[in-house]
């Protein structure tokens, strides 16, 4: 188990749920060597919701309160949403646009902002649930500034996260944003989602996609 724990930590996946570690260790078969098993395990984790992997978050807690600086280390995060803040239509990317995204580390959401061109691995069409590895990320006013040197796309397909993201965009986002701001939510006939604000096109901070089901239960209570 310690070999697996050390391997995952080196990949930025830490701290992992203990019960998941036990489950992964028992998956080792006689037909594969340790290296094959470790890499198979890693690929399997990429296709899981990060909330089911992590025991807490990978990034330092309350990263959004960090003013400026480099956060040394490797951190696995999960993509939740992407928009182009330089475009009149934020969900239609321009070639020379600037991407802003929402990441989830298993506990908290953080914003990422394209500092250098990241369109080789990130776009408004990137699937929610895709995993990224942040390596010594630079933070400015609580926002992670993304470069090719500090952000690597690892892949992963998480269908449930994609479905939850679509549900949030169509059913919850307007209500959540207006409640936070103290405004009454307009009806769909009155215009739906406000397209005038770039940040309002993002899944709002504090409403994690992975916790969407829990959020609905709290609303019902």
CATH number of 63-155: 2.40.50.770
Q: Output b/e per residue, 175-211; b: 16+ Cβ within 10 A.
A: ebbeeeeeeeeeeeeeeeeeeeebebbbbbeebbbbb
**Residue 158, CB half-sphere, CA atoms under 13 Å: how many?**
29
pLDDT, one tens digit per residue, over 88-127 is 888 787 778 899 999 999 999 999 999 999 999 999 999 9
Question: What pLDDT score does 154 carry?
Answer: 94
Bigger pLDDT: 175 vs 7: 7
Closest CA to 7 of 34, 30, 32: 34
Q: Quick check: 206 pLDDT over 50?
A: no
Contacts of 7 (CB under 8 A, 6+ apart): 38, 42
* 151 close to 136: Cβ distance less than 8 angstroms: no
- Cβ count within 10 A of residue 68: 10
Nearest to 44 by CA among 75, 20, 12, 73: 20
pLDDT at 105: 92
Is the per-residue pLDDT at 204 higher than 50? Answer: yes
Kindly report the pTM of this predicted structure. 0.76
**Domain boundaries defined on the chain:** 2-46, 63-155, 159-220
**pLDDT value of position 144:** 96
Give the percent of the chain with pLDDT over 70. 76
Q: Residue 143 and residue 137: Cα distance in Å, rounded? A: 10
Confidence of residue 164 (pLDDT cuts 50, 70, 90): confident
pLDDT, mean of residues 69-77: 93
State yes or no: pLDDT of 193 exceeds 70.
Answer: no
Q: Which of 8-17, 25-34, 102-111, 159-168 has the highest mean pLDDT?
A: 102-111
- CA Rg, the chain, in Å? 18
Q: Is pLDDT of 169 > 90?
A: no
């Amino acid at each position: 188990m310690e070999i697996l724990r050390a391997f995952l930590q080196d990949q930025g996946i830490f701290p992992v749920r203990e019960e998941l570690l036990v489950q992964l260790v028992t998956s080792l078969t006689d037909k594969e060597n340790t290296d094959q098993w470790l890499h198979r395990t890693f690929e399997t984790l990429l296709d899981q919701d990060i909330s089911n992997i992590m025991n807490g978050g990978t990034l330092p807690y309350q990263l959004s309160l960090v003013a400026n600086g480099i956060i040394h280390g490797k951190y696995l995060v999960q993509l939740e949403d992407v928009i182009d803040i330089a475009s009149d239509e934020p969900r239609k990317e321009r070639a020379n646009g600037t991407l802003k995204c929402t990441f989830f580390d298993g506990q908290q959401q953080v914003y990422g902002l394209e500092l250098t061109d990241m369109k080789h691995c990130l776009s408004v069409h990137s699937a929610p649930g895709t995993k990224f590895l942040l390596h010594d990320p630079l933070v400015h006013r609580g926002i992670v500034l993304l470069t090719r040197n500090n952000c690597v796309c690892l892949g992963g397909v998480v269908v449930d996260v994609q479905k939850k993201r679509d549900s949030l965009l169509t059913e919850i986002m307007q209500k959540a944003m207006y409640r936070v701001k103290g405004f009454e939510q307009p009806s769909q006939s009155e215009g739906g989602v406000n397209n005038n604000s770039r940040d309002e096109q993002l899944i709002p901070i504090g409403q994690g996609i992975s916790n969407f089901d829990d959020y609905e239960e709290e609303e019902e209570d």
